[in-house]
Structure 1
């Protein structure tokens, strides 16, 4: 039996090596033509004319605004695309084919129709199954779509499953970046993907999330990151994945069908606030011309993991350039306070010790994450749960988001909330907003992106968001009672104390208890 297992393992290893080699050769043949961001001009587009005078007065500074309202996050993306006159570059982990996702696609198509160059980069793990629609968009002469670390087998469950198994060491590495860049003048970088749950339009669960609106030199930094990914060996044009395959219909017919579905969308969503927001063209300009406050600072930097982080060969993964090395100094150099928000929080032994050490020298450390009832990934919560007592014992203040039943802004009632914000605020002055979770997957496997800043005004906005999110009506506060884990709900008088994960059913709690024993922390 042992001999058979060893033979099987050897055969599988050889097949995996062959699959990785074959894919590498395919990728070399399939790379797209090099491309770069289009240069900005003084007054060629509306965004040029609005922003150029302000930026001329602050040549070394970037303007930032915290976007924590989900409807505003949708509107700023849609309206900036509507005002685009030169280029739109987009980089996303998830783009759902739902109401808000289709509304934003409609804006991209309209922009391309009036002469705007559109480049879209998607991670393959969530793009599969949408190839027909993506190919239709890609057929537009001014739209190009490329896929990060794609599987070659686009059809057939079994063939895809075999490829995923043989290329697991590579396909397990995903592009988690989120960036929306228009005319090289405006960028939105943060935690939101594209989909109803990120814009308060989902029926079941909506995410509490945050982005930063950027103008100035930080936009060029975001564009440089986009171009590095766009021209990397990890990114393949969607067209190259379908060479030699017969399409079900001519591309012109497919694009016409996409246009027809998008045209009918207005009737489907009727008088929804999402369409109403698209009539408020002054909202974007209110941010950009100073009517809504932009914070200006010369210490704003857009940072990202390199695309090579997804390479299957360890020698190509230069970890000294990874994003975590930009974030760790925020924590190690904290002197007074560190406020951490991470929906998927698996600190591991090293970070747990670091946070406890900071508390020991007088730093107030607070962490906000999802409760078991609020999380959308129970397996990650199992990885986090084993560190709660360690963190509390080290003096860390720990908060878990409640499942808030709040009125939705769309048409069909209320929904639960789940935390999706990834942010840090340190010493009332420095911080981070982006896609990076404090977990092993963000640190070691996925590529991540975000904004590191030193700006007391922006830090104050982010700190206010943290305090609001950890208030008693929003979150549970965890504590130890003679070594036993407890949850406090101070909205009641006296405060209600839970002895198990609040609002989570017995089966969900039992499942997470079992998951805690799985040796898979490095994958969480």
Structure 2
């Protein structure tokens, strides 16, 4: 072939081959089209892509007056308060851990544990060991965890599940446990995996229930070195505990609860190693120091000396969203409807505590309307520096000025760590405030998992304690006063020019701050960008 012919053939090949830019555009175009098809299809087939629920149905075990230590301790007490539920507020992290650990040690029949997050850290493994030791005594243990909140804990969960008296199920899980296939499944099931189980409940023998805002992890139990949440649970015993057991059974037997053994397998050597690690850490010096703090807690000492004074009330109930909330059936039974209804009936005061607060247009109008009717409306939420989810703060900022103009009082909690918690766009690990509560007219209230934001209202399942009792109202008001104290929060107001200002009441004299306190420039930029993005429904 002559050089001239070879040159002409090469030119012809170049002419037939699409230019590089066109090839790249085609690849990107087909990739985006594929992702779009997968995302759209998830809306219609998400339920069919959920792994099948293969677990056998089971239910709460019948109560007895004397079979277990908790039966013998509580049956006579409940007989003296017939029809009433005993309740104790747990704002302290050490006390909250103690309520779970002690009830597990006293249990002789069953433990039913339901959580959004269970960290594989010191307190997570210590409480796992408490559940294991209960199972060793013959206690039936059922553990239901949300798949988004357990990280890479499959080995630990399978180790727990290996005990004949422990069964562990995962809510709305991924078929693919790791890697690229899990990411592709997240896209394919985008509509379905966006719905999570945010419930938190610890139920022992059907006698004691711990319900509230805390997940399981060191930051929830005042055991973290750098950062701990302000949070709130209630420990209950009496008729309302049956509500918690019924809720647990509904979730446990739903099509969204999948046995962990159906999702993953691990060799016996790995399971034995994990169990050995859990049991060894439970005896470690670090665990001993934490347990010593628990033993010296006034509340723990009060329990063992039988000097605790619970509040007895007939006005206590536990409510939850339905297990398959995303289908939108019977919305009148959703928790948000009960809370919105209670808030709307406020006559004197509506005090709201929510770490993530995105009221939306309707919520803002309702709160402003209450204020203009003469109701004292106040909200405690995280400041930008204390909020680990910058996107949520951006959603809140959209309504902040309107709320202030309408007479709603706002308090933003300070960052409680010298070391900045890891802020992220949508993550959740380091906010100062984690308490989720509502107090209406000093006596009607809520303590639970529900944030006052669109995600809690429409996407996640939520759970909590509703009460109508002046003593419980006074206990919750005490926590509200604690959170709004000068050392814990800034008071937010509008100056004469209509600009947002933050009052640092912990200085002498108090100082008015012009920018979001303790925040970085990058945090402020991201929050302002998110403020204008169409992502509010996901916050």
TM-score clears 0.5 = yes
Would the aligned equivalents of 2:387 and 2:430 in 1 still touch at CA under 8 Å?
Answer: no
Give the counterpart of 1:376 among 384, 388, 393: 388
Between 285-294 and 212-221, the greater mean CA deviation after superposition: 285-294
Aligned to 2:177: 154
* Residues in 2 aligned to 1:378 and 1:11: alpha-carbon distance in whole angstroms: 30
Structure 1 portions without partners, runs of 5+: 408-414
Give the counterpart of 1:306 among 301, 322, 341: 322
Matched, 1:468 2:494: no
The change in CA–CA distance for 1:259 and 1:161 in structure 2 (over 3 A counts) is: closer
1:514 shift after superposition: 1.5
The change in CA–CA distance for 1:480 and 1:278 in structure 2 (over 3 A counts) is: closer
| Partner deviation per Cα, 1:252-300 (whole Å, 9 max, x = no partner) | x444323321232145444754222565799558449861121111110
1:84 shift after superposition: 1.0
TM-score w.r.t. the length of structure 2 is 0.88
* Residues in 1 aligned to 2:286 and 2:47: alpha-carbon distance in whole angstroms: 51
* Residues in 1 aligned to 2:283 and 2:74: alpha-carbon distance in whole angstroms: 35
1:211 shift after superposition: 0.2
Matched, 1:211 2:233: yes
Aligned to 1:391: 403
* Higher gyration radius (CA): 2
Give the counterpart of 2:139 among 116, 120, 128: 116
Summarize the alignment of residues 76-475 of structure 1 with structure 2, pairs less than 5 Å apart.
Answer: 76-155=99-178, 157-242=179-264, 247-250=265-268, 253-266=269-282, 268-270=284-286, 272-277=288-293, 286-287=302-303, 291-311=307-327, 314=328, 317-405=329-417, 418-475=432-489
Matched, 1:518 2:533: yes
Would the aligned equivalents of 1:97 and 1:195 in 2 still touch at CA under 8 Å?
Answer: yes
* Residues in 1 aligned to 2:431 and 2:321: alpha-carbon distance in whole angstroms: 29
1:326 shift after superposition: 1.2
| Partner deviation per Cα, 1:10-55 (whole Å, 9 max, x = no partner) | 743675368636425x42xx33111001111001111111110111
Work out the number of aligned pairs and report it: 502
Question: 3-state DSSP class of the match of 2:229?
Answer: strand
* Residues in 1 aligned to 2:40 and 2:485: alpha-carbon distance in whole angstroms: 55
| Partner deviation per Cα, 1:171-193 (whole Å, 9 max, x = no partner) | 00000000000011000000000
Would the aligned equivalents of 1:487 and 1:499 in 2 still touch at CA under 8 Å?
Answer: yes
Between 499-508 and 90-99, the greater mean CA deviation after superposition: 499-508
Aligned to 2:515: 500
Give the counterpart of 1:20 among 41, 46, 53: 46
Summarize the alignment of residues 64-75 of structure 1 with structure 2, pairs less than 5 Å apart.
Answer: 64-75=87-98
TM-score w.r.t. the length of structure 1 is 0.91
| Partner deviation per Cα, 1:99-141 (whole Å, 9 max, x = no partner) | 1111111111111011111000000002241111111110100
RMSD: 2.4
* Residues in 2 aligned to 1:258 and 1:161: alpha-carbon distance in whole angstroms: 27
Between 178-187 and 9-18, the greater mean CA deviation after superposition: 9-18
Would the aligned equivalents of 2:43 and 2:191 in 1 still touch at CA under 8 Å?
Answer: no
The change in CA–CA distance for 1:433 and 1:47 in structure 2 (over 3 A counts) is: same
Structure 2 portions without partners, runs of 5+: 1-24, 420-428
1:197 shift after superposition: 0.7
* Residues in 2 aligned to 1:181 and 1:125: alpha-carbon distance in whole angstroms: 22
* Residues in 2 aligned to 1:8 and 1:258: alpha-carbon distance in whole angstroms: 40
The change in CA–CA distance for 1:51 and 1:326 in structure 2 (over 3 A counts) is: same
Question: 3-state DSSP class of the match of 1:387?
Answer: helix
The change in CA–CA distance for 1:32 and 1:285 in structure 2 (over 3 A counts) is: farther
Would the aligned equivalents of 1:94 and 1:126 in 2 still touch at CA under 8 Å?
Answer: yes
| Partner deviation per Cα, 1:455-496 (whole Å, 9 max, x = no partner) | 100110110110111011211000001210000012222211
Would the aligned equivalents of 1:112 and 1:142 in 2 still touch at CA under 8 Å?
Answer: yes
